[in-house]
Amino acid sequence: MGSAAAAVAGEAIAVGIFLTPAGMAKSLASPFWLLVVWLAVGAMTLSGALCYGELAGRFPSAGGAYVYLRECFGPRTAFLYGWMCLLVLDPGLTAAFATGFAAYAAYIFHWPPLIIKVAAVAAIWAICVLNIFSTRISASFLRWITWLKFAVLATLTVWALVFRLGSWSNFVPFVAQRPGALPLAPALGAAVVGAFFSFGGWWDATKIAGEVRDPGRTLPRALVVGVLAVTSVYVIISAVFIYLVPIEKVASDGTFVAQAGEVLFGPTGGIIFAAIVVVCVLGSLAAFMMSAPRVYYAMARDGVFLKSVARVDPRFGTPARAIAIQGCIAALLAARGSFEQIISYFFFVTVLFLGLTVAGLFVIRRQPRPSETIILTAGYPFTPIAFLALLGIMLILLATRSPREAALGCAVVLAGWPVHVLSPKLLSWIRKRRAAKGGHDVPG
């Protein structure tokens, strides 16, 4: 169970903790409300993890949410999930990573806003080209990046507390918002989105269900332990940040590690820590863009996705079309939107599918329990109901805070419906025309 719990924590504690706490603190301008948001989103994540744990036990095969949606709601819903990943989630997350990279690089090189945009787009296309031509990124390098990430967070915490480099007066007033803060409702909306982004990825740990021994019992426990560990880490790191940097002195939504490093070690420390985060974000960006397109390939083999998108390039052996589509949309998002706008674009529909996946638990409970070793969701049906209720609140916050981005994400997903209906008929018509002319069959 230890390895699986570590996988959950490793998926969640990615680059979000480097990119969101400062923006959350700046929006809320209150240590108390920042703590409330972390605990509330942690509780919501825990309830969702319990539901995913039962689903993973019932369907112990690789694929995660794609498998659960297929089994609960059929291949069309699974197709829309893949469509969402291709055109919304994956390019949106890619753009968010690239924007975070550019923000920290700008801290080092003092770039103006235009150059920050250019750097984000350039990073996306550099990684795209790398993944199209070759995916031989060293596993040892990626492990080194992971340990470096945890080393930065541990250094910030231990060094600050041991040498008393901050001030506990930064927590006063504890509840009241500082002057100039956003009104509480929109501030909570912005902070909840940031916190959920930081927790994001815990559900991806269920994709390894086929490789875990006794997943029906191991994964539910690992998900619970992992989520509790992540919540504790985020509360501690946010507290250390406020201890080092007063909320009113937050300079940027995305560079809190650099600001904290400057307090710890002076201007040189800020630059060094910013450079470390740049390397970590680039590593996460490369790993994500290397793995994400493989989902489309797997779904195409399952017969529920466009094979032309997931087709492997004969020369390089990589899903070049999927990578190129992901890169084009991500570059557009990075060029036109802010970090928060990018998150709003992909998070609304991601939360929708997350809720739909958990709702599938009510559908699947009508079927016989396949094994006595499966750990059922504690507190059912109240646990999934509570999770869906909290997701509903988050959807309202997202829709009211960024209605244009949320609507755009939904429109892109709904565009996949006619594609799923018409593409088989279109391909059949093309095959018949080519066959009538004596041509070769068109591969799907």
Domain assignments of the chain as residue spans, ordered by start = 2-436
CATH of domain 2-436: 1.20.1740.10
What is the model's pLDDT at position 208? 58
Over residues 206-231, the pLDDT tens digits come to 665 555 666 667 777 778 888 888 89
Q: What is the pLDDT of residue 41?
A: 92
Please check whether residue 374 is in contact with residue 54, taking contact to mean a CB–CB distance below 8 angstroms: yes
CB 57 within 8 A of CB 205: no
pLDDT value, residue 442? 42
Q: Return the pLDDT at 30.
A: 93
| pLDDT at residue 427, as a whole number | 54
pLDDT-based confidence at 114, cuts 50/70/90? very high
Q: What is the pLDDT of residue 444?
A: 44
- Identity (one letter) of the amino acid at 419? V
376-400 mean pLDDT: 88
User: What is the residue-averaged pLDDT of the chain?
Assistant: 81
| Band of residue 181 on the pLDDT scale cut at 50, 70, 90 | confident
pLDDT at position 352 over 80? yes
The per-residue pLDDT for range 300-330, each reduced to its tens digit, is 767 667 777 777 778 877 778 888 888 999 9
Confidence band of 64 (pLDDT split at 50, 70, 90)? confident
Measure the CA–CA gap between 264 and 159, rounded to whole angstroms.
7
pLDDT digits (tens, 9 = 90+) for 12-50: 676 677 778 888 888 899 999 999 999 999 999 899 988
84-113 average pLDDT score: 90
Whether pTM > 0.85 for this model: the answer is: no
Give the pLDDT band (50/70/90) at residue 7. low
Q: Would you state the pLDDT for residue 377?
A: 84
Range in 240-244, 257-261, 264-268, 418-422 the model is least confident about: 418-422
- Residue listed under structure tokens 């929109």: 186
Lowest mean per-residue pLDDT among 154-158, 211-215, 259-263, 365-369: 211-215
Question: Mean pLDDT over residues 91-104, rounded?
Answer: 89
pLDDT at 138: 47
pLDDT of 439 strictly over 60: no
**208 or 235, greater pLDDT:** 235
Q: How high is the pLDDT of residue 429?
A: 63
Closest CA to 406 of 200, 189, 203: 189
pLDDT digits (tens, 9 = 90+) for 418-436: 877 776 665 566 556 666 6
Segment 401-420, tens digit of pLDDT: 888 988 999 999 999 888 77
Asked if 279 contacts 148 with a C-beta cutoff of 8 angstroms, the reply is: yes
Q: Are 339 and 103 in contact (CB under 8 A)?
A: yes
Asked if 35 and 226 touch (Cβ cutoff 8 Å), the reply is no
